[in-house]
């Protein structure tokens, strides 16, 4: 993470106000542009431009917001148990030099419980900073919608710093996360193993073990402007010391991805709820 970004966010702190009354739900439409590596450690990367539905739901037990889709099973002053979701894009092996002649990689969906423990914050409602320890465990499913196969599981313990600075007379949501990633043998095999039948002189057979999967650093921001919303992220991965680092499919020990999204909100509920947004 860039120290300057953290300094700017901290310098822009405003005094906290009161929790706001906002619509129970909001719906819109938007577009997102992404630059992603084919997979972590790949030397190929792609640009993507997709339409996406903008949906916010502020229920007590189920939420859709800037932290994702969350079914909240337990919540106290400092501890919350909810659902964590993540995904990876498909990979066409004929477009990736390291995987030439190997099967394509289906997109993956990761779903599982996540325990959030709040370590520090200035106040519960309308906080300007919050530090959490987050402990998501996710099962991984590889699917192209015509079939679905288990691809192991991942564990991503990380620290999260959420800031709400006031910049340009607007309150922004700014987040930073950092932590190690761990994957099961089956998860690493899906991305990094080379079966003997696909081995070549330049790509020896390799059986990926489970264990440490590198470290992930992520920075993100979002802001609502009346009927418009904007958000973005930048992610840095380092695979140094990863259990599969010796795989011939790992071409870069470091990778970077980023995305930027815009949305127009065209409908909202008449019912209002108190929220920390």
Mean pLDDT, all residues of the chain? 85
Evaluate if residue 164 carries a pLDDT over 80: yes
Instruction: Report yes or no: 117 and 103 within 8 Å, Cβ to Cβ.
Output: no
Exposed/middle/buried for residue 178 (C-beta within 10 Å: 0-12, 13-18, 19+): middle
What domains are there in the chain, each with its CATH number?
22-263 (2.40.230)
Report CA-CA distances (Å) from 225 to 127, 147, 173. 20, 40, 12
Cα–Cα dist 40/265, whole Å = 34
With a CB cutoff of 8 Å and minimum separation 6, the contacts of 7 are none
What integer pLDDT is reported at residue 25 of this predicted model? 86
pTM (predicted TM-score): 0.82
CB atoms within 10 A of CB 213: 28
What integer pLDDT is reported at residue 235 of this predicted model? 97
Give the mean model confidence (pLDDT) for residues 251-258.
Answer: 94
Q: Residues, the chain, total?
A: 277
Give the mean model confidence (pLDDT) for residues 18-44.
Answer: 87
Evaluate if residue 134 carries a pLDDT over 50: yes
Please work out, in degrees rounded to the nearest 5, the angle formed at the alpha carbon of residue 142 by the alpha carbons of 138 and 37.
85
What integer pLDDT is reported at residue 14 of this predicted model? 33
The residue with greater pLDDT, 168 or 211, is 211
At 36-79, the pLDDT tens digits run 999 999 998 899 999 988 888 876 666 666 655 655 555 567 88
Could you please report the per-residue DSSP string of 100-140?
Answer: TTSPPBPPEEEEEEEEEEEEEES-SSS-SEEEEEEEEEEEE
What integer pLDDT is reported at residue 24 of this predicted model? 80
At 178-237, the pLDDT tens digits run 999 999 999 999 999 999 999 999 999 999 999 999 999 999 999 988 899 999 999 999
The residue with greater pLDDT, 104 or 83, is 104
Evaluate if residue 5 carries a pLDDT over 90: no
Backbone angles phi, psi at 52, to 5 degrees: -150, 150
Q: What is the dihedral of CA 218, 242, 207, 210, to 10 degrees?
A: -80
Evaluate if residue 32 carries a pLDDT over 60: yes
What integer pLDDT is reported at residue 111 of this predicted model? 92
Evaluate if residue 251 carries a pLDDT over 80: yes
- Neighbouring-strand partners of residue 19: none
Report CA-CA distances (Å) from 47 to 33, 38, 44, 141, 173. 7, 10, 11, 23, 25
Pairing assessment for the beta strands 211-225 and 173-183 based on DSSP bridges: antiparallel
Evaluate if residue 11 carries a pLDDT over 50: no
Q: Which range (13-17, 176-180, 253-257) has the least confidence?
A: 13-17
Instruction: Report yes or no: 179 and 154 within 8 Å, Cβ to Cβ.
Output: no
Instruction: Report yes or no: 82 and 62 within 8 Å, Cβ to Cβ.
Output: no
Determine the 3-state secondary structure of 246 from DSSP.
coil
Instruction: Report yes or no: 246 and 262 within 8 Å, Cβ to Cβ.
Output: no
Is the four-CA dihedral 37, 39, 40, 43 of positive or negative sign?
Answer: negative
Evaluate if residue 175 carries a pLDDT over 70: yes
What integer pLDDT is reported at residue 277 of this predicted model? 54
């Amino acid at each position: 993470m860039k120290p300057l970004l953290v300094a700017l966010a901290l310098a822009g702190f405003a005094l906290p106000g009161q929790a706001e009354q906002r619509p129970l739900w909001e719906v819109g439409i938007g577009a997102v542009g992404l630059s992603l590596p084919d997979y972590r450690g790949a030397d190929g990367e792609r640009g993507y431009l997709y339409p996406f539905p903008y949906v916010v739901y502020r229920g007590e037990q189920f939420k859709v917001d800037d932290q994702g889709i969350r079914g909240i099973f337990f919540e106290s002053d400092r501890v919350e148990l909810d659902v964590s979701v993540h995904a990876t894009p498909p990979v066409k092996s004929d477009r990736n030099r390291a995987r030439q002649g190997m099967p394509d990689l289906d997109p993956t969906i990761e779903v599982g419980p996540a325990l959030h423990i709040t370590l520090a914050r200035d106040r519960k409602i309308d906080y300007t900073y919050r530090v959490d320890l987050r402990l998501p465990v996710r099962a991984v499913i590889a699917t192209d919608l015509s079939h679905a196969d288990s691809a192991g599981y991942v564990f991503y313990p990380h620290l999260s710093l959420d800031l709400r600075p006031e910049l340009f007379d607007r309150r922004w949501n700014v987040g930073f996360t950092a932590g190690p990633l761990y994957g099961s043998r089956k998860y690493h095999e899906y991305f990094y193993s080379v079966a003997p039948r696909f081995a070549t002189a330049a790509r020896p057979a390799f059986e990926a073990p489970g264990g440490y999967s590198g470290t992930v650093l992520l920075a993100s921001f979002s802001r609502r402007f009346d009927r418009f919303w904007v958000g973005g992220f930048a992610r840095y991965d380092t695979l140094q010391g990863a259990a599969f680092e010796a795989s011939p499919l790992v071409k870069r020990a470091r990778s970077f991805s980023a995305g930027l999204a815009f949305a127009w909100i065209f409908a909202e509920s008449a019912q209002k709820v108190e929220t920390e947004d």
